[in-house]
Amino acid sequence: MAIDCERLISDRARSIDASGIRKVFDLGATLKDPINLSIGQPDFAVPQEMKRAACEAIENNQNGYTLTQGIPALRRAICAHVTKDLGWPSDLGEAGAATQAMVTTGTSGGLFLAFMSLLGPGDEIIVPDPYFVAYPHMPRLAGATVVKCDTYPDFRMTADRIEPLITAKTKVVLIDSPSNPAGVVLSGQECRDVLELCRAKGVLLISDEIYDEFTFADHRERLEDGRMVCPSPARFAGAHEDVLLIRGFGKTYGCTGWRMGYAAGPAPVIGAMTKMQQYSFVCAPTPLQHGCLASFGVDMTETVARFAHRRDMVLAALGDLTHVANPGGAFYAFVEVPRRIGMSGQEFFQRAVEKNVLTIPGNVFSDHDTHFRLSFAIDEERLARGLEILAGLMRGE
C-alpha cells in the first residue's frame, strides 16, 4: 500500500495557497494567443555585455561554488555602486566594517533570508496592502505575524499610516518603492518620515528596491550634486545603520530567470543572512554572478523611457474611466474597477478573460477585491489593443 503523502504535508505548507499569479499563468496557457497583461517579465533582451560575460564564465570553467556572500569582484562592484549612489560609508563590505553586503539568489531570496534571520514566533512585521504576493507568506514561514498597512486609495505607505500599527512586538517595517502592484513611488520626504519613525521605534526598515532603476524621469528627485535619482530611505545620513537594502538585477536588465539580487545593511543582519544562505541557497549561480558584474555601466535610460511611454498609454486609455494611481516606476498599474459597473476585481478579471485579455485580479495582492493589476511589459501594439478592450468593459460594452 502506498504511503499517504498528503497526510505528511506540514501545517506550514498547508497554510500557504498557490500564488494567484501562477494560477493566471496556468490559465493563460489554455488560451489561444491571449493579450497577456499579467506577467511582470521585461519584454527586452538581456544586454549583450551581460550575456557575453555569463557565457565566458561558463566557457572558462567558472561553474563551481563561490563564497556564500558572492564572488569578491561582484561584491566590490555592488559596494562601490551603493556607496556612490546612496552615500554609504566607503568601507562598505570591507572586513570588520559595520555595514556589509552580499549577493543573493534574487531579491526574493534576499527577503527570505532576511525574514528567516530577523523574525520568529511572536514577532511582527508590517507590510503594505496591496503587496507583492510573497510579502504575507514569507514571514509566516518564520513563524511571525504579518500586519498589513492599508494604503488605499493612493497606495502610499506613509509614516502616518504605519505608526498606529507598531507595537512592542514589531521588529520590521517593509516598504517597496516603486511598488508592486501599483508602481507608486514614495517622495523623498515620505521616505525620510518612514526612516525617522522606524529609528524612533527601534524597528528595522527593509527597503525593497528591485525597481529602483526603473523609476521614470517624472518621479525622480534631484540631489544636491545634480543627479536625478529614485527617492529612497537609504539616501539619508546614517541610513546604513538602520536600513536593510534589497536590490537586484532581474527587472532592470531583463534577466529575471537568472535569480540575482543583493542585500546591504548592518553587519549583524548581513552576517545572519549569510549563515542562512549557507544552509539554504548555498550561493547565487556562479556564471550569472559574472554576468551581473558586467551590468555596472550598462545604460538602460532609453528602455526605461520606453516604459514611461507605455505608462502614459495606460493613463490616457483608462484615466478618464476610473481611478489609476500614477505609476512612477516598475511595469504595473493597479486599476480600480469602476463602481458604476457593479463588478469586483475578480469578476472584472473573468470578463476580461472572456475577451482573451489576461490581467491579475487585485485580491491576489490585497485583502480588497476592488482593483486589478495590469503589466505594461508588452509591445505597444498589443498593449493598445488590450487597453481598448479593458476600456470597453468599463464603458459597459
Please give the tally of structural domains in the chain: 2
368 and 256 within one domain: no
329 and 284 within one domain: no
Q: Where are the alpha helices (DSSP H) in 202-300?
A: 250-253, 267-278, 286-293
What pLDDT is recorded for position 28?
A: 67
342: left (phi over 0), alpha (psi -120 to 50) or beta: left
What pLDDT is recorded for position 40?
A: 86
100 and 124 within one domain: yes
222 and 137 within one domain: yes
Instruction: Please report where in the chains the cell 555596472 appears, as a residue.
Output: 296
**Between β-strands 204-208 and 170-176, what pairing exists: parallel, antiparallel or unpaired?**
parallel
Its domain, for residue 158, covers 48-293
Residue that is last in its domain, among 232, 265, 293: 293
Instruction: Identify the CATH number of the domain in which residue 169 sits.
Output: 3.40.640.10
Q: Where are the alpha helices (DSSP H) in 119-207?
A: 138-141, 159-162, 188-201
Report the half-sphere exposure of 90 (CA within 13 A, side-chain side): 0
Sign (positive or negative) of CA dihedral 204, 209, 215, 220? positive
Say how many C-beta atoms besides its own lie within 10 A of residue 79's C-beta: 23
What pLDDT is recorded for position 86?
A: 97
Describe the strand order of the beta sheet including 371-375 as a list of residue ranges: 332-336, 371-375, 360-361
What pLDDT is recorded for position 17?
A: 75
188 and 67 within one domain: yes
103 and 237 within one domain: yes
- Model confidence over 197-226: pLDDT tens digits? 999 999 999 999 999 999 999 999 999 899
Cis amide leading into 287 (omega within 30): no
Low-confidence ranges of the chain (pLDDT < 70): 18-23, 25-28
What pLDDT is recorded for position 150?
A: 98
Name the grid cell of 187.
Answer: 517622495
Instruction: Please report where in the chains the cell 529602483 appears, as a residue.
Output: 212
Residue that is last in its domain, among 236, 260, 293: 293
248 and 288 within one domain: yes
What pLDDT is recorded for position 31?
A: 76
164 and 216 within one domain: yes
- Model confidence over 77-96: pLDDT tens digits? 999 999 999 999 999 999 99
- Model confidence over 35-80: pLDDT tens digits? 999 988 899 999 999 999 999 999 999 999 999 999 999 999 999 9
Instruction: Identify the CATH number of the domain in which residue 316 sits.
Output: 3.90.1150.10
248 and 137 within one domain: yes
Name the grid cell of 371.
Answer: 482593483
What pLDDT is recorded for position 1?
A: 75
What pLDDT is recorded for position 136?
A: 95
What pLDDT is recorded for position 364?
A: 94
16 and 76 within one domain: no
Would you list the DSSP string of 5-35? Answer: HHHHS-HHHHT-PPPHHHHHHHHHTTSSS-E
Residue that is last in its domain, among 274, 293, 312: 293
Name the grid cell of 45.
Answer: 533582451
Would you list the DSSP string of 273-296? Answer: HHHHHHTTT-S--HHHHHHHHTTT
236 and 108 within one domain: yes
The C-alpha atoms of residue 295 and residue 391 are separated, in whole angstroms, by: 38
